[in-house]
Amino acid sequence: MQNPTDLLILIGALLALVFSGIHIAVALGLCSMLGLFLMTGDIHGMISFASSTAYEALRDYVFAVIPLFMLMGEFLAKCGAARDLFTLVNRSMNRIKGRLGVATVLANALFAFVTGVSIAAAAAFSKIAYPEMRRHGYERKFALGCIAGSACLGMLIPPSVLMIVWGVLTELSIGKLFIAGIIPGILVVLLYVGYIAWVAYRQPHRVGEGFKPQPVQALSADGQSVDVPEADLRAILWSTIGIVALIVIVLGGIWFGFFTPTEGAGVGATLALVLAISRGMRLKEMMEAVVSVGRTSAPLLLLLVTAQLYSRVLSMTGVTGMAQDFFSQSGMSPYVVLLMMVLVWFVLGMLIDSISIILLTVPVFAPVAAAMGFDPIAFAILGILAIETGLLTPPFGILAFTVRASIPNEPGLKTGEIFLGSVPYWIVLLIAIVTIAVFPALATWLPNLALANP
């Protein structure tokens, strides 16, 4: 084990840089170089090790998973797939109380299977579901909370970017992580729907019961207001069938071993492009989607490179071993250790973004959890759920800010109102965390089934 003073310097420097506002990739890179120098005292050796780690990371084609899955989601978002999903689910539940809230959750769940990013869902459904809910008399806080809360599903239901990052850092199978997220994702969806149904039953005024909605109107060519006709149900149905078929092909192909997650991402992006073109996507929109994904994924790939370097440095300096020894010799039960980790994730969720939390904590937490006897797959899903809560937690809660930015013309709306509306969904995520901790088979059953049927 290395000098404890050096270990404290390394961890303290990282935390100081992150909380002072330095970009997480820069902070990880600088602290990795500092750790290497403290161990070797040789600048040339430090540079050689860092460059070889970066080269090995970038030549690994698993890194293509992120931009390809993001491209798949971007193509479908640009062609109006999210609107079609919401419209179809909404029309199919005419007799259900609170149906617009339920439709928002279910459409978000389906949309999550092709995006992997919660922010995209929050932005899309703020523009699609919110006006419709308000037109039907839904309480504003309830509608906003429903949109922000259900957007979290994008980080849990595969292909989740958080799962990809977790898999790259821990060298777990990304395909297994994808499959592991399905049952917990369904559990969260059912809990969300149960909450909405409870509100519709106990507080019907919050979901517009008894409110007569006004028809949607637009200006005609001569400046007159005219009713907007409903979209063609047949076209919406075919669009949704195409999306479901895409999900089945990509995830089913990964599950049954027909292709790797990277190959599945390539197939998904190609099929999404075909579907988008069939729905009228033009070359300009296609290029906008590619550029948007490039701007989002390039910094993320840089993050992963510096995170891998930092993870190696932690292992070499003995931080991981020291953490394992501390917890194993402390006499604390595994569940107390797990609770401490979850609390750390909750606190960090108030301060920094989800990917940064994974990069900072998982290289230390994952080996400790494995040493304490937790299944790596179940721990990954539990961790992603805990980190997801930060998306709804002030003051950072990026989903609340995304929803607010997506409806700029709403008078008197403050971000705090969105946070308040999201509290029940935060509680649901907490219930899901406890459930996975008590019943880890909810996360491991499908991956084990896939392994048994290659």
Listed range (19-28, 163-172, 241-250, 273-282) with the worst mean pLDDT: 19-28
Going by C-alpha positions, the residue among 439, 438, 427, 403 that lies closest to residue 346 is 427
289 contact partners, CB below 8 Å, separation of at least 6: 71, 74, 75, 78
What confidence score (pLDDT) does residue 225 get?
42
Lowest mean pLDDT among 31-40, 78-87, 218-227, 419-428: 218-227
273, pLDDT greater than 70: yes
Q: What is residue 272's predicted lDDT score, i.e. its pLDDT?
A: 87
Averaged pLDDT for residues 344-358:
80
Please check the confidence at residue 181 and state whether its pLDDT lies above 60: yes
* pTM, entire model: 0.80
Q: For 29-74, write each residue's pLDDT tens digit.
A: 888 888 777 777 777 777 777 777 776 666 666 667 778 887 887 7
- Encoded tokens for 446: 């499908």
Question: What pLDDT is attached to residue 217?
Answer: 43
pLDDT band, residue 230 (cuts 50/70/90):
low
What confidence category does residue 431 fall into, taking pLDDT thresholds of 50, 70 and 90? Answer: very high
The residue that leads in pLDDT, 397 or 429, is: 429
Tens-digit pLDDT profile for residues 1-21: 455 666 677 777 777 887 777
In the chain, the percentage of residues whose pLDDT exceeds 90 is 16
Q: Tell me, what's the pLDDT at 224?
A: 45
- pLDDT the model gives residue 402: 83
Indicate the domain borders of the chain. Answer: 4-452
Measured CA to CA, the distance from residue 137 to residue 211 in angstroms comes to 6
Lowest mean pLDDT among 329-333, 366-370, 417-421, 444-448: 329-333
Q: What Å distances lie between residue 11 and 4, 6, 15, 138, 310, CA to CA? A: 11, 9, 6, 48, 11
Count of C-beta atoms within a 10 Å radius of residue 35: 27
In 3D, which of 201, 114, 103 has the Cα closest to residue 143? 103
At 142-154, the pLDDT tens digits run 999 999 999 888 8
How far apart are alpha carbons 131 and 321 in whole angstroms? 53
**What token pair was written down for 448?**
């084990």
CA–CA dist 133, 101 (Å, integer): 8
Average pLDDT over residues 236-250: 82
More confident residue, 166 or 223: 166
Phi, psi of 352 (to 5 degrees): -135, 170
If you average pLDDT over every residue of the chain, what do you get?
Answer: 80
pLDDT at residue 122 is higher than 80: yes
**pLDDT > 70 in the chain, percent:** 87
Handedness of CA 118, 162, 348, 195 (dihedral sign): positive
Higher pLDDT, 250 or 187: 187
Tens digits of per-residue pLDDT, 202-229? 988 888 776 666 655 443 444 444 444 4
Top-confidence residue, 172 or 254: 172
Q: Crossing angle of helices 261-278/233-255, nearest 10°?
A: 170
**β-strand partners of 375:** none
